[in-house]
Amino acid sequence: MLLVKKKVRSMRVDYHQSNKVTIKNRYFLPRIDDLMDQIIGACMFSKINLRLGYHQIRVKFEDILKTTFRTRYGHYKYLVMPFGMTNAPRVFIDYKNRIFHPYLDRFVVVFIHDILTYSKTREEHTEHLRTVLQTLKDKRLYVKLSKCEFCLDSVSFLGCDTLYPNIITIDINHLYINSFLV
């Protein structure tokens, strides 16, 4: 593994060689139309994004050595999941799906980096949002407030330009497939 410069003068670990020999966790994304079916009838939305997402997930003890990299100052190992490892997105999504499992298909959708909370009424949404935020607090996961949107009657999500109650508008320019997850 090498340290390489990023465009903004900072450094990052280049995991290309390690990723070539890593057994890929083939995590299939849920069908977008299935996710959209879940939110039919919702009138209130909140979108939550986690701060430094992967870095909030601890690496399993037996896998720490696999994250080793060398600099001129010595060898270092990650204790939290680094960005750039091939299975990081899959592990991140799987973890969020496990902690929100009781609420999936009821009032939570987890998709890549976003957690969408949806409800039919403001009162219901207050309770749903409280549950989601308490779950994040219990798991010691921290949100990036600048990327969160709370208690909205419409929101952009999953390549859809805007979700309104019972109406979905799609901007074709925003639809994409993340090849690293397929």
Task: List, for residues 5-39, the tens digit of each pLDDT value.
Answer: 556 666 667 776 777 766 777 766 666 767 777 77
User: Is the pLDDT higher at 128 or at 51?
Assistant: 128
Tokens coding 176 = 């994409």
Task: Count the neighbouring beta carbons within 10 Å of the beta carbon of residue 127.
Answer: 12
Task: List, for residues 94-114, the tens digit of each pLDDT value.
Answer: 889 999 999 999 999 987 778
pLDDT at 138: 96
Q: Is the pLDDT of residue 181 over 50?
A: no
pLDDT at 37: 72
Task: List, for residues 42-90, the tens digit of each pLDDT value.
Answer: 889 999 998 877 778 888 899 888 888 788 889 989 888 877 776 777 8
Cα dist. 178→32, 101, 124, 136 in Å? 13, 23, 33, 25
Cα dist. 124→67, 106, 167 in Å? 43, 12, 20
pLDDT at 125: 96
Q: Is the pLDDT of residue 133 over 60?
A: yes
> What residues contact residue 23 under an 8 Å CB cut-off, 6+ apart?
none
Q: Is the pLDDT of residue 163 over 60?
A: no
pLDDT at 71: 80
Q: What domains can you pick out in the chain, each with its CATH number?
A: 25-52+87-181 (3.30.70.270)
What is the spatial distance between Cα 154 and Cα 135, in angstroms, rounded to a whole number?
24
